[in-house]
Amino acid sequence: MARPPVSRDPAPRRDRRSTAFLLVFALAYAGGVVGYLPLLTLLLPIKVDAVAGTGRLGTLTAIVVAGAVAASVSNIAFGWLSDRSVARGRGRRGWLAGGVVATALSYAAMTTAATPGALILAVVAFQVAVNAVLAPLLAIMADEVPDAQKGVAGGLLAMACPVASALAAMLMATAALDEAARLSIVPLVMACGIVPLLLTRSRTVARIEPTSPMKAMLRRDLALAWSARLFVQVAGSALFVYLFYYLESVAPTLAPGTIAARMGTVMLVAYTLPLPIAVLVGRFADRSGRTKPLLFAATIVAAAGLVGMAVADDFDGGAVAFCIYTTGASVFLALHASFAMQLLPNALHRGRDLGLLNLTNTLPGLLGPTLTWALATPTDFDAVMLVLAALTLCGGGTILAARGRR
């Protein structure tokens, strides 16, 4: 049987977006990441400790589970609702603006929460609100950035983590700020990043509707892309939660306070280093029309970093290996975002389909910690790192099976 042609879908000159728009969108995405990363990595554990005391582990577990469920459902729901708004000619920016306001209100609820139950409810409300931001935001990229520029746009998304990590480090380093001030600054910075995009006009780029055979192939490829991202994200979710304990296991002679201080610097370097690489690789993908080999190469780098973390026997070795891992993983995730958007089979359901793809961000939040709990001990993370490396390579191999895009 003849194989359907590979779709390239170059952007007509009139559909190309300016560099300024791509930067405005990247700034908005950074604002979205600012909305959750400082909270979930640093501010929330401190708040849990304050309200739950000795019951903090149980409270944090309940927050992780309830938050993952709320994030999964709400991202799909708001993606679908923004699809309906587009179909009615109203666009997605209204949902984006509403999500920013709702996120600010949820931060106020977390600030005033004085019991574990109140904090759990506030975090669930936060997950719903922040996904009202993230769901239409990524759908705007799918709508308004032509396929031939999605590589660069995806590469620019890598700036979000270093910006959010820098903010988190600044908040913790400024002793004059109390809990309420920190929880107020985060949504304010988030809004500053997103407002410029809200002031732009919606402009959906022209796209040729795929034929029925091509739609079937794109659906299959989207399922493969979903699986590949899930494999890769399991490692990311595990390290997101357990990085401090891993570093403590390879540097048992260092005091916890010293590890925490040095960890902030490591995270800032680890998330900043991939940014220029992701932009350059994304640009190369746009020009060459070949993304799959680059995605696979990124998983090799990420897996090498995880193997390095398994064999490291001191803080510096573990930190360098972690930076290698984040470089590969960050480039993969940035490229994958643009690659997956080119596989969406129906322009009428981009928000909903991206919400389903977002499950690869929330499900690993349950799978990664569970795997770590089963395989790791407080002093030995070697086995789990090797398993995560194998899963990461499986993700790279899975993406190579896609046929509708190169």
The alpha carbon of residue 372 and the mean position of all alpha carbons in its chain are separated, in whole angstroms, by: 20
Q: What is the pLDDT of residues 356-375, one digit of tens each?
A: 877 877 788 778 777 877 88
Structure tokens given for 152: 């660069």
Q: Is the pLDDT of residue 156 over 50?
A: yes
Residue 266: closest CA among 311, 305, 310, 307: 305
CB atoms within 10 A of CB 80: 16
The residue count of the chain comes to 406
Strand partners for 377: 380
DSSP states along 285-329: HHHH---HHHHHHHHHHHHHHHHHHHH--SHHHHHHHHHHHHHHH
Q: Is the dihedral of CA 40, 43, 44, 49 positive or negative?
A: positive
Architecture of domain 18-202: Up-down Bundle (1.20)
Q: Does 213 score more than 60 pLDDT?
A: no
Phi and psi at residue 377, to the nearest 5°: -125, 165
pLDDT at res. 217? 67
pLDDT of residue 214: 57
pLDDT at 149: 84
Better-predicted residue by pLDDT, 284 or 369: 284
Report the mean per-residue pLDDT for the chain: 84
The kind and range of the H/E element at 176 are none
Asked whether the predicted pLDDT for residue 242 surpasses 80, the reply is no
Where are the chain's structural domains? Answer: 18-202, 210-406
Residue-level pLDDT at 211:
53
- For the domain spanning 210-406, the CATH number is 1.20.1250.20
End-to-end CA separation in angstroms for the chain: 20
d(CA 277, CA 332): 11
CB neighbour list of residue 368: distance below 8 Å, 6 or more residues apart: 233, 234, 235, 236, 237, 238, 239, 240, 241
Distance CA(40)–CA(57), nearest Å, equals 14
Looking at mean pLDDT, say which of 137-141, 166-170, 353-357 comes out highest: 137-141
The model carries a pTM of: 0.77
Instruction: Report how far residue 291's alpha carbon sits from residue 152's, in angstroms, rounded to the nearest whole number.
Output: 12
Structure tokens given for 98:
């509403």
Give the per-residue pLDDT at 5: 45
Q: Residue 286 — pLDDT band, cuts 50, 70, 90?
A: confident
What is the rounded average pLDDT of the residues 123-131? 95
Same fold: 18-202 with 210-406: yes
Helices 44-52 & 56-87 angle (0-180, nearest 10): 130
pLDDT-derived band at 123, boundaries 50, 70, 90: very high
pLDDT in the model for residue 87: 85
In this predicted structure, what is the pLDDT of residue 205?
67
Q: What per-residue string of b and e applies to 132-148 under the rule 16 or more CB within 10 Å gives b?
A: bbbbbbbbbbbbbbbbb
